[in-house]
Amino acid sequence: MSTPHNAADKGEIAERILLPGDPLRAKFIAENFLENARQYSSVRNILGFTGTYRGVPVSVQGTGMGIPSIAIYVHELIREYGVKKLIRVGTCGAMHNDIQLRDIVIAQAASTDSSLIRNIFGPSINFAPIADFDLLSKTVEQAKAKGLSFKVGNIISVDRFYDDDIDNDRLCKYGILAVEMETAALYTLAAQFHVQAMALFTASDHLLKGESCSAEERQTSFREMISVALDTIIQD
Ligand code: HPA
């Protein structure tokens, strides 16, 4: 069995999966963190791998950028392949003065300017896409145990990376910590299909301070985030 977007056979994808946006990050995670990793798909260059981490089967797959792209992959992972725990590991633009570049942002909830929620619920309900509480609390425990600098709260998943019209001041005023482009879809699909999802990011750029990470800084903070995500996802 395969889907139009995934060459994996049933059973080739683990119930626990990490989801970076960038397929090459999926390859990096498979090669540097998993044991006996085997590639199951490269359709559209969206690479997916399954291996083990501390003896537990774990997969890792790219999602591409933006809500329509992640929604395709996540829908199929849950419905066709039976994935039960999904952790997005991404980057974000920080929108809060207490967040430094390279800090970890843990998305308790994901606001969005996408039409996704409206298309499902109609104009009168503003559904709130939220993280699975169990995965969220375990992620926080892991980040604390590793002594990492992190912040937990609401983020926004936007449809436009280049958006001159976005009102950052208002978003900040209401406690939005960061901007990225996928999590609202992940949390909404997890709610629809009753599975567990969580997202965490490293702050790769800072919208208020106008700073961004060097390539090397990105790599180090990315490694820290991956170890938090893997030590969380293998727990029962
Ligand atoms: N905007 C949207 N998505 C992002 C950003 C940003 O500034 N940085 C990392 N992902």
User: In angstroms, what CA-CA distances link 177 with 94, 98, 108, 206?
Assistant: 6, 9, 10, 10
**Residue 101: domain span:** 16-233
Query: Is 100 part of a structural domain of the chain?
Result: yes
Q: Which residue reads 């039409």 in tokens? A: 115
Which of 73, 106, 71 has its CA nearest to residue 202? 106
Tokens for 74?
Answer: 């996540």
Query: Is 57 part of a structural domain of the chain?
Result: yes
Strands (E), the chain: 16-19, 35-41, 48-53, 56-61, 85-94, 104-112, 150-157, 178-180, 196-206, 211-212
Is the CB of 181 inside a 6 Å radius of any atom of ligand 1?
yes
Q: Is the dihedral of CA 66, 67, 68, 71 positive or negative?
A: positive
Query: Is 165 part of a structural domain of the chain?
Result: yes
Residue 70's contacts (CB-CB under 8 Å, 6 or more residues apart) are: 19, 21, 63, 64, 88, 182, 185, 186
Each residue's pLDDT, cut to its tens digit, for the chain (236 residues) gives 799 999 999 999 999 999 999 999 999 999 999 999 999 999 999 999 999 999 999 999 999 999 999 999 999 999 999 999 999 999 999 999 999 999 999 999 999 999 999 999 999 999 999 999 999 999 999 999 999 999 999 999 999 999 999 999 999 999 999 999 999 999 999 999 999 999 999 999 999 999 998 888 877 789 999 999 999 999 99
Is the CB of 58 inside a 6 Å radius of any atom of ligand 1?
no
Q: Which residues pair with 104 in a beta bridge?
A: 150, 202
Tokens for 208?
Answer: 């208020």
Please give the distance, rounded to the nearest whole angstrom, from the Cα atom of residue 151 to the centre of ligand 1.
Answer: 17
Please compute, for residue 50, the number of CA atoms within 13 A of its CA located in the half-sphere on the CB side.
Answer: 17
Is the CB of 92 inside a 6 Å radius of any atom of ligand 1?
yes
Query: Is 4 part of a structural domain of the chain?
Result: no
Q: How many domains does the chain have?
A: 1
Please give the distance, rounded to the nearest whole angstrom, from the Cα atom of residue 11 to the centre of ligand 1.
Answer: 34
Query: Is 74 part of a structural domain of the chain?
Result: yes
Q: Is the dihedral of CA 103, 195, 131, 163 positive or negative?
A: positive
Query: Is 78 part of a structural domain of the chain?
Result: yes
Give Rg (Cα) of the chain: 17
Tokens for 235?
Answer: 């727990």
Residue owning the nearest CA to atom 5 of ligand 1:
93
Is the CB of 91 inside a 6 Å radius of any atom of ligand 1?
yes
The per-residue pLDDT for 220 is: 79
Out of 134, 205, 231, 236, which one is annotated catalytic?
205
Please give the distance, rounded to the nearest whole angstrom, from the Cα atom of residue 186 to the centre of ligand 1.
Answer: 17
The per-residue pLDDT for 216 is: 81
Query: Is 9 part of a structural domain of the chain?
Result: no
CATH number at residue 54: 3.40.50.1580
The per-residue pLDDT for 214 is: 86
User: In angstroms, what CA-CA distances link 97 with 172, 196, 211?
Assistant: 9, 30, 12
Please give the distance, rounded to the nearest whole angstrom, from the Cα atom of residue 210 to the centre of ligand 1.
Answer: 12
Query: Is 5 part of a structural domain of the chain?
Result: no
Start-end of H helices in 80-180: 116-121, 133-145, 168-173
